[in-house]
Each structure stands twice: as structure tokens, then as C-alpha cells.
């Protein structure tokens, strides 16, 4: 049974009438202890941690859109699903109970909404509130946050003009990592010649029916490999048109070890065993890819060959130019992509786009791939810190000039945390750790009588990009993101095992931060 997304609350403390241009005329703006930005998987998780671990603090969640769920509400294309297992993409504090490790988008959305309800944090969400600016004052030890009211039903971008001001002691940005209003579409010269429909998966039209039609999906990232088998179920034919191949790993749709653990162990023990099995498997796969890329290449290629017909040109279509895990490894449950190729309902063309005809795409080698619908599965447009303009004591902050502290705070920016998940493991593993760390920080500030904590820049050493993938969306977005340093606490190891120790038990007062009274 689908769980309806909670409706927008009609009134809440601090609400300013829509037609009031000056937001806090003659009265103090509303103040909260912790202001969470974003009601996606991370923001809802953060609020659950805050309300259970720091119950005395006031918390509000500002959400630009009119729904909980973020990614899992936005993306509606056929077949949308997770590509990491739900036992680790789900929260540690609320285990995922479905035996299937890979879940579809609606199931994940339901899980986030149900968690919000169960923990009562749905009541803290203020929909249609986009945070535009945040100014820190060290003298007052607080953020002044400028919020723009947005139009219901929109992606939280169009505004109807009214603004609101709030203040908070701690700003906790859980805004994800990409723009909601538009995905990335490359320049496609001559696209105007094409008379069919052109669709980006980020904004899949509810009325689009691809049954019996010829579909070309441009790209072979996680979006494309999810879409192709789903569309192939009803389309006349689906062509995945890629300019370069991707490493793909077919995994069984079920998890017999997890099923056995659930049969044999009490629920708590089984949940924990399955989580740790999945965490360790993902880490081992990643470590093997980095330390012995040749071995990993052979294993992956063997898996691909086994699922494709004899004589299939694996070298051209499924052998990437990069090493495994230079880009995120794409998982296909039960090898559904390969099944579609084997059955002839889908095929792969590896070539670059030259031009368009009224009913197809012409590639550089001269092939015309017929199409009624063209899907540009060409990726996301990265956005750092929710696009919020930050200012500290009157000085604008350029996020790319900052260095990330523990991958969750920005050098020189007091009392602000952000959530960016792992590139090589489930996002929520890091999100949960960051939330636990923020709770520890807040408790420590209170206990030690200090008002704020500010991360410092590393005094020396090399700096590098925050994310270590070579994927197109990461390369395009790096100049917007903070940097990382070459040693702890500024170096990101992308290792949950290392981070568990540091985030749950590591020293709070280390060389990378200053606590101020
Ligand atoms: C299709 C798809 C599938 C994915 N699958 C996986 C997977 O299997 N495993 C995995 O680990 N990761 C996956 N990811 C990455 C995924 O984004 C994360 O897993 C996770 O959902 C991110 O949650 P989040 O809450 O941090 O961000 P989001 O889901 O992006 O939510 C951010 C929320 O913040 C709001 N917001 C943003 N800026 C502002 C602002 N300025 N003011 C107010 N509100 C704001 C947005 O409206 C949104 O609701 C996937 C990503 C995509 C696009
Ligand atoms: N759980 C899931 O199943 C799932 C689903 C969707 C997305 N995601 C996540 O969302 C993120 C983005 O994934 P994504 O698949 O949307 O994007 P992506 O990984 O950036 O892949 C984009 C694809 O488009 C291709 N492309 C880009 N520009 C092109 C051009 N000018 N001509 C031809 N091809 C072009 C790229 O080719 P090149 O490789 O040659 O550059 C690549 O194959 C990732 O973090 C991913 O993990 C996950």
C-alpha cells in the first residue's frame, strides 16, 4: 500500500504571511537550535538522530519542495531503483526488512516517509522553503538564514517572491549533491531535426508511454542501465547508445545468506550480521579494485561474458577504458540488462553522436539508429551545499576555496555540517555517522560551555578534489565542491570501517577544529 506523502502544514510558528515582503518587521525572527536543510534520506535521518539523541534542542527542517524523500520522490523513470543494498542504504536505527536487497524507488520513498512518521520528524518539516542565504555572526554565535517560499508542485526552484528569516545556532545542510531543476544534458548538435520526443530521466513525463516504440537511451551510467531493461519490457526496441562502456556487475536479486541469517538468528542479530556482511563485501570489492585492478577486470569481464550470447562483442561494448571503481560500479540485479540484450529487445551501440534525422540518431561511423523517443540519461548537474550563499562575519564564503573537515564541515565556517555520502558504499552509512557526530558536537559544546566550533584549514600539505571518481558528473562538479587535504582529519578515505571509529569515538577537540566560548 503506498504511503501518501504528508501534506504541507498550513501554519507553523514563525510563518510570515505570503504578501509580507519584509519578513520580521518589528519582531525577532524565530530561532531554532538546529536548522536542517532538506527532507531527503539524509535530512530525515539527521532529524531522527537529533530528536532521539539531543531531545532538548529545537529542530526545524526546511525543504524547498513540497514532499519528503528528495531523490526518491524526484526520480520517477521506469525501473528507478537503488544500486546499493538497502540494508546499508537504509538507516542503521531502522532496519530495512524487505528480503530483496535492491529496492525500487517507490519502496525507498515509502521507507523514508514512514521513518519520518514513526520518529515524529514529519511534523518538523516546512515544505516550500528554499534556503538561499545564511550569514554567520561570531558575536551572536548564530546563523541568520534567508528563506524563499516556493511554488507548490514545483522542484523547489520557482518562488512566489516572499521571504522569511530565521536564526539558528547550528546549520545542518542535507541538500544532496545535485540540482533539482535540471539534469545535465550535453550539447546535442542538430537535435532540432529530430521529430520524436526528447526526455531527461530526471523529469520523466507521467504521460510518456514507450510501449511499441523505438527508444534510444543515450549514456550507460546507472540511470541508463536501469532504464534499458525496464523500457525493453514493452518498447518495440531499446538501444543503449554509449560513447564509452561502463563496468557492470550482475548480482542475484535475492540474498540467500541474508535469508539464512533471518531464519537462524534473532531479528537484531540477523539485521546486524546482514549489514556487516554487505559493508565488508562492498569494502573488499572496492579495495580489490584499487589494489589489483587486473584481477577485478577479469572477474567483471567473466561475469559479463557468462550472461551474453556466445561471440558477443564484449571488448567493444562492455570493456571500459578506466579501471574498476575509477567510476561507480553499476549493479544490475539478476543481470536484467544482459537478459534484455540476449532476448533481442535491447541492444548496445558504442559510438559518438554525429547528428540527428527526423526519426533517428546518426553516429560518427554513419549508422542511423532509429528512434521515436530519445532519452538523455547523461547525468546530473552537481550543486554544492544546496546552492546556499554563505557568509561568515560579513565575508562571503567560496565553497571551492574551503577544505572539508572529516568530509562534513567546511574550514572557516562555524557551526555548519553537511552530508555527502560515500562514493564507494551506501550514502546512508556516512549520513548516519555525520548525524551521530553532529549530536556529539552539540553535546560537547553545551557540556564545555563553548558557543561554536570552527574547522581550521590544514597548515600545509597537498589539497585535492573532495570526490575521487572520474565520472562525468563528478568532473563537471568538482570546481563547485570543497577540497580535501592529504591527511586526517581533512583527508577522506571513503572507508566506513575507518570512519566508524573516528565519528563515534574519535576525539572531538582535535588539531582540525577550534571550540570558542
Ligand atoms: C536515481 C538515483 C539513484 C541513486 N541510488 C543510490 C543508491 O543506490 N545508493 C546510494 O548510496 N546512493 C544512491 N544515490 C545517491 C542518492 O542521492 C543518495 O542515496 C540519497 O538519496 C541522497 O539523500 P540526501 O537526502 O542527502 O539528498 P537528496 O535526496 O538529494 O535530498 C535533498 C533534499 O534537500 C532539498 N534541498 C536542496 N537544497 C535545498 C535548499 N537550498 N533549501 C531547502 N531544501 C533544499 C531537496 O529539495 C531535497 O528534497 C542515487 C541517486 C540517484 C539520483
Ligand atoms: N541506483 C541507481 O540505479 C542509480 C540510478 C541513477 C543514478 N544513480 C546515481 O546518480 C548518479 C548519476 O548517474 P547517471 O547514470 O545519471 O549519470 P552518469 O553516471 O554521469 O552517466 C552519464 C552517461 O551519459 C554519458 N554522456 C554524457 N555526456 C555525453 C555526451 N555528450 N554524449 C554521449 N554520452 C554522454 C556518459 O558517457 P561517458 O561515460 O562516456 O562520459 C555516461 O555514460 C550516480 O551517482 C549514480 O550512482 C544511481
Rg over CA atoms, the chain: 24
421 touches ligand 1 (CB under 6 Å): yes
Q: Which residue segment(s) compose the domain that 154 sits in? A: 30-181+381-461
84 touches ligand 1 (CB under 6 Å): yes
* pLDDT per residue as tens digits for the range 160-183: 678 899 999 999 999 999 999 999
User: Where residue 154 falls among pLDDT bands split at 50, 70, 90?
Assistant: low
Q: In angstroms, what is the span from residue 389 Cα to ligand 2's centroid?
A: 28
User: Where residue 159 falls among pLDDT bands split at 50, 70, 90?
Assistant: low
Closest-lying ligand 2 atom to the alpha carbon of residue 82: 1
82 touches ligand 1 (CB under 6 Å): yes
Strands (E), 151-220: 159-173, 197-199, 214-218
Q: In angstroms, what is the span from residue 473 Cα to ligand 2's centroid?
A: 7
Give the integer Cα–Cα distance in Å for 145 and 277.
42
Q: In angstroms, what is the span from residue 121 Cα to ligand 2's centroid?
A: 33
SS3 helix, strand, coil % of the chain, rounded to 5? Answer: 30, 25, 45
My answer on whether 240 and 144 are in the same domain is: no
Mean pLDDT (whole number) for 375-386: 96
Give the count of domains, the chain: 2
- For residue 7, pLDDT over 70 is answered with no
Give the integer Cα–Cα distance in Å for 120 and 277.
31
Under a CB-based contact definition with an 8 Å cutoff, are residues 127 and 66 in contact? yes
My answer on whether 325 and 421 are in the same domain is: no
pLDDT computed for residue 155 by the predictor? 66
Per-position DSSP letters for 327-381, written without gaps between them: BPPEEEETTHHHHHHHHTSEEEEE--EEEEETTEEEETTS-EEE-SEEEE-----
My answer on whether 258 and 157 are in the same domain is: no
pLDDT computed for residue 150 by the predictor? 85
User: Where residue 471 falls among pLDDT bands split at 50, 70, 90?
Assistant: confident
Q: In angstroms, what is the span from residue 313 Cα to ligand 1's centroid?
A: 36
**Which has more confidence, 300 or 256?**
300
Under a CB-based contact definition with an 8 Å cutoff, are residues 243 and 350 in contact? yes
My answer on whether 317 and 216 are in the same domain is: yes
Identify the domain boundary among 461, 479, 496. Answer: 461
* Other beta carbons within 10 Å of 250: 20
Backbone dihedral angles phi then psi of residue 187, each to the nearest 5 degrees: -65, 120
Closest-lying ligand 1 atom to the alpha carbon of residue 174: 26
pTM to 2 decimal places: 0.93
My answer on whether 327 and 402 are in the same domain is: no
Q: In angstroms, what is the span from residue 426 Cα to ligand 1's centroid?
A: 12
Q: Which residue, judged by its Cα, is nearest atom 23 of ligand 1?
A: 41
- CATH number of the domain enclosing 400: 3.50.50.60
Q: Which residue, judged by its Cα, is nearest atom 36 of ligand 2?
A: 219
- Dihedral angle sign, alpha carbons of residues 497, 498, 504, 505: positive
Decide if 493 is inside a domain: no
Find the range with the poorest average confidence among 265-274, 299-308, 315-324, 445-454.
Answer: 265-274
My answer on whether 343 and 398 are in the same domain is: no
My answer on whether 437 and 393 are in the same domain is: yes
Q: In angstroms, what is the span from residue 421 Cα to ligand 1's centroid?
A: 10
pLDDT above 70 coverage of the chain, percent:
93
Q: Which residue, judged by its Cα, is nearest atom 31 of ligand 2?
A: 186
Identify the domain boundary among 417, 439, 461. Answer: 461
Mean pLDDT (whole number) for 72-78: 96
Q: Which residue, judged by its Cα, is nearest atom 19 of ligand 2?
A: 221
Q: Which residue, judged by its Cα, is nearest atom 9 of ligand 2?
A: 222
pLDDT computed for residue 157 by the predictor? 67
Q: How far is CA 47 from the centre of its chain?
A: 17
Closest-lying ligand 1 atom to the alpha carbon of residue 67: 49
My answer on whether 171 and 226 are in the same domain is: no
Give the integer Cα–Cα distance in Å for 63 and 181.
14
Decide if 34 is inside a domain: yes
My answer on whether 175 and 205 are in the same domain is: no
Amino acid at each position: 500500500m503506498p504511503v501518501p506523502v504528508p501534506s504541507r502544514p498550513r501554519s507553523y510558528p514563525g510563518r510570515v504571511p505570503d504578501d509580507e515582503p519584509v519578513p520580521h518587521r518589528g519582531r525577532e525572527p524565530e530561532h531554532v537550535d538546529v536548522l536542517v536543510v532538506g527532507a531527503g534520506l539524509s535530512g530525515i535521518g539527521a532529524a531522527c538522530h537529533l530528536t532521539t539523541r539531543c531531545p532538548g534542542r529545537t529542530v526545524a527542517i526546511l525543504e524547498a519542495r513540497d514532499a519528503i524523500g528528495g531523490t526518491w520522490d524526484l526520480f520517477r523513470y521506469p525501473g528507478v531503483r537503488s544500486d546499493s543494498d538497502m540494508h546499508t542504504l537504509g538507516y542503521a536505527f531502522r532496519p530495512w526488512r524487505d528480503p530483496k536487497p535492491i529496492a525500487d524507488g517507490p519502496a525507498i520513498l515509502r521507507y523514508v516517509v514512514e521513518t519520518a512518521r514513526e520518529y515524529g520528524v514529519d511534523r518538523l518539516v516546512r515544505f516550500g522553503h528554499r534556503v538561499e542565504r545564511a550569514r554567520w555572526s561570531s558575536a551572536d554565535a548564530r546563523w541568520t538564514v534567508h528563506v524563499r517560499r516556493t511554488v507548490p508542485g514545483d522542484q523547489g526552484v520557482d518562488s512566489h517572491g516572499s521571504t522569511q528569516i530565521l536564526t539558528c545556532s547550528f546549520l545542518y545542510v542535507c541538500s544532496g549533491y545535485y540540482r533539482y531543476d535540471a539534469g545535465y544534458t550535453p550539447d546535442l548538435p542538430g537535435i532540432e531535426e529530430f521529430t520524436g520526443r526528447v526526455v531527461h530521466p530526471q523529469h520523466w513525463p507521467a504521460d510518456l508511454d514507450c510501449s511499441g516504440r523505438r527508444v534510444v537511451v543515450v549514456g550507460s551510467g546507472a540511470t541508463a542501465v536501469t532504464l534499458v531493461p525496464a523500457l525493453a519490457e514493452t518498447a518495440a526496441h531499446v538501444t543503449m547508445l554509449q560513447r564509452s562502456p561502463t563496468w557492470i556487475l550482475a548480482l542475484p536479486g535475492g540474498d540467500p545468506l541474508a535469508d539464512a541469517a533471518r531464519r537462524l538468528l534473532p531479528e537484531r542479530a540477523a539485521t546486524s550480521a546482514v549489514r556487516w556482511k554487505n559493508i565488508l563485501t562492498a569494502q573488499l570489492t572496492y579495495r580489490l579494485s584499487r589494489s589489483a585492478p587486473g584481477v577485478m577486470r577479469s572477474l567483471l569481464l567473466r561475469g559479463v561474458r557468462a550472461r551474453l550470447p556466445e561471440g558477443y562483442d564484449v571488448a567493444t561494448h562492455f570493456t571500459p577504458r578506466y579501471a574498476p571503481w575509477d567510476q561507480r560500479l553499476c549493479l544490475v540485479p539478476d543481470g536484467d540488462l544482459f537478459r534484455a540484450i540476449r532476448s533481442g529487445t535491447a541492444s548496445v551501440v558504442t559510438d559518438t553522436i554525429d547528428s540527428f534525422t527526423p526519426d533517428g540518431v546518426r553516429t560518427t561511423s554513419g549508422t542511423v539508429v532509429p528512434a521515436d523517443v530519445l532519452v538523455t540519461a547523461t547525468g546530473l548537474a552537481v550543486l554544492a551545499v544546496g546552492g546556499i550563499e554563505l557568509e561568515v562575519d560579513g565575508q562571503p564564503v567560496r565553497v571551492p576555496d574551503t577544505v572539508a573537515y572529516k568530509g562534513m564541515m567546511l574550514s572557516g565556517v562555524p557551526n555548519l555540517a553537511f552530508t555527502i555520502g560515500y562514493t564507494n558504499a551506501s550514502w546512508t552509512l556516512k549520513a548516519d555517522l555525520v548525524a551521530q557526530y553532529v549530536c556529539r558536537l552539540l553535546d560537547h559544546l553545551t557540556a564545555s560551555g563553548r558557543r561554536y566550533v570552527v574547522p581550521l584549514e590544514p597548515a600545509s600539505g597537498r589539497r585535492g578534489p573532495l570526490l575521487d571518481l572520474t565520472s562525468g558528473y563528478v568532473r563537471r562538479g568538482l570546481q563547485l565542491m570543497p577540497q580535501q587535504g592529504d591527511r586526517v582529519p581533512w583527508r577522506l578515505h571513503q572507508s566506513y570501517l575507518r570512519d566508524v571509529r573516528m565519528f563515534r569515538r574519535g576525539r572531538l577537540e582535535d588539531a582540525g577544529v577550534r571550540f570558542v566560548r
